[in-house]
Chains A and B, each alone.
Chain A
Amino acid sequence: MVIDILNFILRFVLIVFFQVVIINNIDISTYVNPYIYVALILSLPYNTKPWLVVVLSFILGMTMDTFSSLPGPHIAATVLLGYFRRFYIVFSTNKDDQDTKIEPSIGSKGPLGFILYASVLVFIHHFLLFFLEAFTFNQFFGTLTRIFFSSLFTIFLITIGQLLFYKIAKK
């Protein structure tokens, strides 16, 4: 239990550091803003209590908002992601797995299953995040394009990260 908590804190610090110091400084285009930090919530074990997932999402969103100079969008989007995660898991995983400590990953869900899982939740997250950042429905399709390309990059980066760490874990 203590190890799990320490493990989570370590991951939390690493992923926030990676997002803030590296990803946020890559200015490719105004249409591509990947937010890979959601991987932290995506990879929580199946048997994490739903309320805990929501609370952790809130803390993560709050941390990201601190670094983004526009308070609110990250909290709202990440909490929404944390809430919806449960429904996707109930719908996509069999009952036995749901009560185990297994983490949703490429290893446990298979490549296609994981990418689909990540895609749905990342899209929900980015959808709310980018509309709240814009705070207007003007340029509706501009924002949609932004959501699409950013989600694409986020999913791509998360999948690469999974491949990297899955290999290491296997060894």
Chain B
Amino acid sequence: MKNLIFFLYKYYVFFIFLTFEIFAFVVLVNFNNYQQASFLNFTAGASSSIYNTINSTTGYFNLKTLNDSLQIENARLRSQLLQSFYQNGYTTTKVNDTLFKQQYVYISAQVVNNSISRKNNFITIDKGAIHGVKRFDGVICLNGVVGIVWQVTPYYSLVQSVLNSKSSTGAKIKKTGDIGSVTWDGNNALFAQLSKVNTYVPVAVGDEIVTTAQSASYPEEIPIGKIVTIDRNPEKNDYDITILIQTPFSRLKNVYVVRNLFKESQESTEVKAKEEEEKSGN
């Protein structure tokens, strides 16, 4: 017993060191484990409000370009209004239409903190749970996809950017409709990789890549990028495609969180189908 105490005393620095290292690894593994985010919930509130203070100061520098882009978008939306269409023919009866049901709700948000040079980039936005943001909602901007909501705190959310080596976005080739998956290898913030496209699909340089509604997080046909290079993958009978990302990640400011109101039902259907498949398999 005396020896043990002496041993602990002699190497106490090492044991402090070991404790901290184990703590760090446990926290990291838990975070990568998807479900738990206790550390983040604990710290995100503090860091986000500091980032917000910084952001409200630096935000003045690009107000002009921001206004311009908002004005362009307003003009585009205004042109889609009913008033801007000339009525061609007679429509006088008013029908309470049940044919259309709202599927997507958009919540506008500001980017508070953003990085593009890490291997796993995250974006902090200033809308959180009390504004109706939920985990795994999609985030888009004027020009294309941004990412998926990864963590939600009451006033802020953390978005896993497309520029994250762990992100994977369901995508399709706009021209042909064939689906694939967009990932990022962590090397260049301008280019992402499109995989799982079979070799029989006719792809060409310059083809547009857009999102598919199969992912349930994004609406259909939000632009992701354009094909730059195409290589055949000899092992797997598919293509290795590099795409140029359209979203200007380095100067991201205004984004929209997309809430898919049918998401729960879509996912529960898929889960149910999978369970039944497993049952019948046994």
Q: Which A residues are closer than 8 A to B by beta carbons?
A: 20-21, 24, 27-33, 50-51, 54-55, 57-58, 61, 65-67, 69-73, 75-76, 79-80, 82-83, 86, 130, 132-136, 139, 142-143, 146
Given contacts A33-B117, A33-B118, A76-B21, contact A71 B13 (CB under 8 A): no
Assess whether B122 is in contact with A69, with CB atoms less than 8 Å apart.
yes
Assess whether A71 is in contact with B187, with CB atoms less than 8 Å apart.
no
Assess whether B28 is in contact with A80, with CB atoms less than 8 Å apart.
no
Nearest Cβ on chain A to B92's Cβ, whole angstroms: 56
Please tell me if B219 contacts chain A, counting CB pairs below 8 Å: no
- Measured between beta carbons, the chain A residues less than 8 angstroms from B51 are 67
Given contacts A76-B24, A79-B21, A134-B186, contact A71 B40 (CB under 8 A): yes
Given contacts A70-B31, A79-B24, A132-B28, contact A32 B117 (CB under 8 A): yes
Give the bracket for the number of chain B residues in contact with chain A: 35 or more
User: How many Cβ-Cβ contacts under 8 Å join chain A to chain B?
Assistant: 103
Nearest Cβ on chain A to B82's Cβ, whole angstroms: 42
Given contacts A65-B43, A142-B186, contact A72 B13 (CB under 8 A): no
Assess whether A21 is in contact with B120, with CB atoms less than 8 Å apart.
no
Given contacts A51-B13, A70-B120, A134-B165, contact A75 B27 (CB under 8 A): yes
Given contacts A51-B12, A67-B47, contact A61 B118 (CB under 8 A): no
Please tell me if B185 contacts chain A, counting CB pairs below 8 Å: yes
Bound-complex Cα distance A65 to B46 (A): 12
B187 closest partner in A (C-beta):
A30
Bound-complex Cα distance A27 to B123 (A): 14
Q: Which B residues are closer than 8 A to A by beta carbons?
A: 12-14, 16-17, 20-21, 23-25, 27-29, 31-32, 39-40, 43-44, 46-47, 50-51, 54, 115-120, 122, 124, 158, 165, 185-189, 250
Nearest Cβ on chain B to A60's Cβ, whole angstroms: 11
Bound-complex Cα distance A146 to B185 (A): 13
- Measured between beta carbons, the chain B residues less than 8 angstroms from A70 are 28, 31, 120, 122
Contact residue among B31, B47, B50, B118 (Cβ-Cβ distance under 8 Å from A72): B31
A77 closest partner in B (C-beta):
B24
Bound-complex Cα distance A24 to B20 (A): 25
- Measured between beta carbons, the chain A residues less than 8 angstroms from B120 are 70, 133-134
B150 closest partner in A (C-beta):
A69
Assess whether B116 is in contact with A54, with CB atoms less than 8 Å apart.
no
